[in-house]
Amino acid sequence: MPASFVLIENLIPSASDALPAGSLAYLPIGESYSLFGVDQNGAQLLFDLGGEKPFHVWTIKDGGLGTAIVVVGWRIEVDPASAVKIDNLHMPVGCAFITGEGAGLVGRQAGRGAFMPMKVDGTLYGGGVNNLRAAFQSWRIVTGPTEQPQILVDSADLEVKPPA
């Protein structure tokens, strides 16, 4: 992952097990960024955006993963020309998506390989036949001013790996 400098005022240290859904944080233990979420049962989830298995979604066990460095003011940018066809109502793993319910990233459940789209607010996207959606292969997570964003994660640097 290339170095990416962020204003220190836009970073907040926190315990990883105390992060609210929708938090983007750098985890020193995994040396990568992760999106934190919550499943339908209230269990805390971690969507890995680097590390050994990008795009895998893990359930966080009690005690968390140590210190997390939260990035304030992050957003996803996409290249509209990278839109992909969506088959069988499933969006491809590793893509950014947008629906009438919001935007997010498509991952898979660690250990099971099940399709798991997580919205930027940290909730899981439930789908639905009548809910229009689009998916994009080329995306990046950035922070800072629109004219000069700092790239934190770029899809071009990540590889979708098969289920564990």
Q: Where are the domains of the chain?
A: 8-157
pLDDT tens readout for residues 140-149 = 999 988 888 8
Mean pLDDT in residue range 117-140:
85
pLDDT of 85 > 80? The answer is yes
The chain-wide mean pLDDT, for the chain, equals 87
pLDDT category at 61 given cuts 50, 70, 90 is confident
Q: Which of 77-91, 113-127, 134-148 has the highest mean pLDDT?
A: 134-148
Mean pLDDT in residue range 136-162:
90
What pLDDT was estimated at residue 88? 64
What pLDDT was estimated at residue 152? 94
pLDDT of 164 > 70? The answer is no
Mean pLDDT in residue range 120-147:
86
What pLDDT was estimated at residue 3? 59
What pLDDT was estimated at residue 163? 63
Mean pLDDT in residue range 45-73:
88
Mean pLDDT in residue range 52-60:
87
Mean pLDDT in residue range 34-54:
90
Q: How far apart are CA 29 and CA 67, in angstroms?
A: 8
Q: How far apart are CA 130 and CA 87, in angstroms?
A: 14
